Amino acid sequence: MNYFEEYCTKLVQSVGNKEGAISPNIVNSAAFAYGTPEIGEAIFNGSVKKPLYSRMGNPTSAHLESILAEMDDGIGAIATSSGMGATTLACMSLLSQGDEIISIGGLFGGTYSFFNETLSRFGITTHFFDVDSLDNIKKVINDNTKIIFLESVGNPNMRLPEIKKIATIANETGVILIVDNTITPLIIKPLELGADIVVYSTTKIISGNASALGGCAVFRAVNDGVDKLKSSRYSFLEKFIKKMGKMALIPNAKKRALRDFGMSPNANASYQTMLGLETLPLRLQRIVQSVEIVAKELDKNGFNLNHPSLTNHPHHGRYKNNFSQGCGPLLTIDMGTKEEAFKLLNKLKLATLSANIGDTRTLALHMASTIYSDFNDEEKIFLGISDGLIRISIGLESPQDIINDFLQAKGN
């Protein structure tokens, strides 16, 4: 299914207003006035839907939330201050001491440290697996397993998970599946494939130009009849299901995470994120086409290149079948040593050196000396971080200009 065309229409239509100011309203207020004590009481008990306080929800961010919920066929969404905020919100709303997480795939550095260092300090254990270790995943699931966490594309190892198969395991064993879809909005629709919650760093390709830090979690509806969420594993959801029915995962996340951790977005960032959303399908479509062109050409010219569009990639078949609209803006090259990687990066004229991805500009970064500099050798091997690894995030420039920049830097 090609969503680019459909969402070129939908996103511009849902961001802009049809009357009055076309550009979304920015409601720059941290607090809101209730007028009367009766209305104040009603806002707090949820019977009147008006803003309570911006930590719990802001009208500008609510506009963004409704668009992202629609984009992923969710029942609702919660915008957050960053992508890590969205992952923290989704996870903390489900976890207690003694619980376990199953984390699948090559993981974004921040998510890896969140699971491995931070959550482990609070008695939560994470089991890490490669995308192809499905048999072992089934074996470690037990009554304490609350979350299976997955990235739609391994960043930066470029390995592709079989999301549908993993969702089947999650549904058969009654465990919630969270998919970090930061790299593949519109390309992958995790809820359609059987996931329960989607998280985004909107900082990346959704905003698209390094102007706003942000994140979002999108939640599926709770089924009226049988639903794995109505089990003793998630007994804390019962009261929310009773009161809010289909919507239960949203008040659960607000009351068990957002209210107390405060990873709330600000209206200006939500506004800028919506401006980015308007052009997301257009930018992403061009970027995934350019990624294939650049990958092929650099591979032909002697770069040790990792991208699933290349026929020698172990997940090339999966790329063709399950990622037919591409797998986002990333590819990596391995220069062998840190020295060679730095030499290349110092000669690049077009690429901007940054830890960001999904920007309008092409970005490059040496991984081992930056995002993964705190990681030990074992962790780096698991995450696919070699000494000479450079991650490239392809931008909107002419693909030939990008290719030429890397070729001149290598001295071809």
Ligand X SMILES: *Cc1c(COP(=O)(O)O)cnc(C)c1O
Least distance (Å) from ligand X to the CB of residue 213?
6
Residue recorded with tokens 């591409």: 326
Helix (H) or strand (E) holding 43: helix 37-45
Helix runs in 209-311, H state only = 238-244, 249-253, 259-261, 267-300
Q: Is 207 in the site for ligand X (CB under 6 A)?
A: no
Of these, 100, 151, 196, 334, which contacts ligand X (CB under 6 A)?
Answer: 151
Q: Is 263 helix (H, G, I), strand (E, B) or coil?
A: coil
Q: Which is nearer to ligand X, 4 or 108 (CB)?
A: 108
How far is it, in rounded angstroms, from Cα 15 to Cα 101?
36
Of these, 155, 270, 272, 332, which contacts ligand X (CB under 6 A)?
Answer: 155
Least distance (Å) from ligand X to the CB of residue 376?
21
**Contact set for ligand X, span 348-377 (CB under 6 A):** 357
Q: Which is nearer to ligand X, 51 or 110 (CB)?
A: 110
Least distance (Å) from ligand X to the CB of residue 151?
6
Of these, 84, 248, 263, 363, which contacts ligand X (CB under 6 A)?
Answer: 84
Nearest one of 376, 299, 367 to 156, comparing CA atoms:
367
φ, ψ (nearest 5 deg) of residue 76: 180, 175
Stretch that binds ligand X, among 57-65, 185-193, 196-204, 258-266 (CB under 6 A): 196-204
How far is it, in rounded angstroms, from Cα 129 to Cα 136?
8
How far is it, in rounded angstroms, from Cα 33 to Cα 282?
40
Q: Which is nearer to ligand X, 184 or 309 (CB)?
A: 184
φ, ψ (nearest 5 deg) of residue 305: -110, 140
CA angle 323–327–329, rounded 5-degree value: 160
Least distance (Å) from ligand X to the CB of residue 78?
14
How far is it, in rounded angstroms, from Cα 389 to Cα 402?
18
**Token pair listed for 227:** 């639903």
Other Cβ atoms closer than 10 A to 34 = 16
The contact pattern for ligand X, residues 88-127, with x = CB under 6 A and - = no contact, is --------------------x-xx----------------
Of these, 189, 204, 233, 366, which contacts ligand X (CB under 6 A)?
Answer: 204
Find all residues with CB under 8 Å of 196, minimum gap 6, and list them.
170, 176, 177, 178, 219, 220, 229, 249
Q: Which is nearer to ligand X, 357 or 403 (CB)?
A: 357
Least distance (Å) from ligand X to the CB of residue 152?
8
Q: Which is nearer to ligand X, 107 or 141 (CB)?
A: 107
Q: Which is nearer to ligand X, 258 or 409 (CB)?
A: 258
Applying CB under 6 A, which residues contact ligand X? 82-84, 108, 110-111, 151, 155, 180, 182-183, 201, 203-204, 213, 215, 357
